[in-house]
Amino acid sequence: MTDQAAHPYAPGLADAGAQVARLRQVLALVAEIAQTPGGGEDIALDEAARISVAYDRAPPIAQRRFDRLAEETERWAAVGVETLIALREREKPYAAAARRLADAIGAALDQLGHAVSP
């Protein structure tokens, strides 16, 4: 019998901080469409750095949870933005939908922060 080390979890290729920063950019775009104030750039950079460090220190199960939530959030946020653009092109009311999408992205970002925080 040979000694084999357990295979540690290999997180996704994307950096956790970069994922959060991209979602913050999407949130800023959606907030602009909704004509509501968005978050500051300094806050977004600080948050991305904090989450990147927390992700690196988090146990593999927390990293997997973060990765799944980040991927899911990126998918539905992209669909939401595409829908807002389609509504805008058709001159349909979209401000309320944009506000709801901004709220949902903000809530998802909060969940991402908690996914890797102790």
Judge whether 75 and 67 are in contact, CB under 8 Å.
Answer: no
Tens digit of each residue's pLDDT (9 = 90 or more) over 41-89: 667 778 888 999 999 999 999 999 999 999 999 999 999 999 998 888 8
- pLDDT tens digits, residue range 2-44? 444 444 545 554 589 999 999 999 999 999 888 887 656 667 7
Please state the domain extents for the chain.
16-116
pLDDT for 47: 85
Name the pTM for this structure.
Answer: 0.80
In the chain, count H helices and then E strands.
4, 0
Counting every residue, how long is the chain? 118
